[in-house]
Structure 1
Amino acid sequence: MPMDNLYYCNRKILDYSLYIASSEKGVLAIAFEELEEDFLKSLKKDFSSFSIIYDEDANQLPLQQLEEYFQGEREVFTVSLDLVGTNFQKQVWRELLRIPYGKVVTYQDIAIKIGNPKAVRAVGMANKKNKIAIMVPCHRVIGSNKKLVGYDGGLDIKEKLLTLEGFQVIEEKVIRK
């Protein structure tokens, strides 16, 4: 059986070295400030059934939309996404996609929205497993105490993304500017 192709590339966007990978169905992964070998290792682990090919052209539209986001010119992404995960993870990620630009919600809010109010920790783990940073906006999820918590890319990057969307972090609390 032939392997599906996964196309990846990297681009320097503002202060970020951003890596992106897409399948024929859509964006599969976005990561930043990693070495290429680390990104490739992650892709091989998470998407072992794919043949991995460097190709900037295959990622042109998602890269353009990310650049527009970082320049403050885009609030909604319109590229296709290829969500790969468990049914629960996909349910959480679909809920994340409903969080508008410039808004934050709590892990508890997400758990309630998916009809499982006791699944706060599981929602946090699903956020951690989100491979499509920024486009599936897990950075918009904060602690119940309004504190900046939990971001696989690092809290410094989460803070930068929220700042870009009109928030500031004062004494670890996320506050609308």
Structure 2
Amino acid sequence: MVARTVVGMNNYGQSTVEWTVVSTGIGPLLLAATGQGLVSVVFHVDGPVREKALGQLRDRLGTEPVESASGLLAEPIRRLSAYFAGELREFGLPLDWSLSTGFNRQVLRELAAGVPYGTVVGYGDLAKRVGQPAAAQAVGAAMGSNPLPVVVPCHRVVESDGGLGGFGGGLETKRQLLALEGVLPEPLF
């Protein structure tokens, strides 16, 4: 993985957010972390997508990125590299949930804790797990708002009829992640 790191500064000159772009088997990912943990993962971060993601982080977390190498992302980078090499099944990273609230946060925390590597869960089943059995569509919306895809594995949530459902990183990316975890077969060509 190739990484470039930048640290955000708040209005008082204290570092608050570090971000980096890493190359992976599913394309470049933008990772961002605070002192509390990993806060954001963004797919397909070419120039315009990266700038939009950084603008959103700046707006939501109140930071202005500046170049530095504080090291907040060293462990997430190492673990993502191991995951994509097929050597890691559980990230075990501290996560900063500040970009998710309410029902969405509840669903995402259940997903992170209760749907292990190599398994899938239906939207309706996940709704039942959080005590809202009629909220399958709301679970879908929570997946779409996931600020930590791959690490909080929304790719493991599928339709009850066996369909893949949606995915913010694109269905091909979802297929690749599920194939990496052995849920789907690798494509023949």
Q: How does 1:1-177 map to 2 (within 5 A)?
A: 2=12, 5-48=16-59, 49-55=62-68, 57-83=71-97, 84-97=99-112, 98-168=114-184
Q: What is residue 174 of structure 1 aligned with on the other side?
A: none
Q: Percent identity?
A: 33
Normalising to structure 1: TM-score of the pair?
Answer: 0.88
- Which has the larger share of strand? 1
Q: CA deviation at 1:4?
A: 5.9
| Separation in 1, partners of 2:166, 2:110 | 17
State the 4+ residue runs in structure 1 displaced beyond 4 angstroms.
Answer: none
Q: Distance in 2 between matches of 1:132 and 1:69?
A: 15
**Once the two structures are superposed, what CA deviation does each residue of 1:37-92 show, in whole Å capped at 9, x if it has no partner?**
42232232255112324455321100100000000100001211111222111100
Provide the C-alpha distance between the structure 1 equivalents of 2:83 and 2:24, rounded to a whole number of angstroms: 10
Q: 1:67 to 1:39 in 2, by over 3 A?
A: same
**Deviation for aligned residue 1:149:** 1.1
Aligned length: 170
**Does the 8 Å CA contact 1:107/1:142 hold for their aligned counterparts?**
yes
TM-score by length of 2: 0.83
CA RMSD of aligned residues (A): 2.0
Letter in 2 for 1:61: E
> For residue 165 of structure 2, what is the amino acid of its counterpart?
V
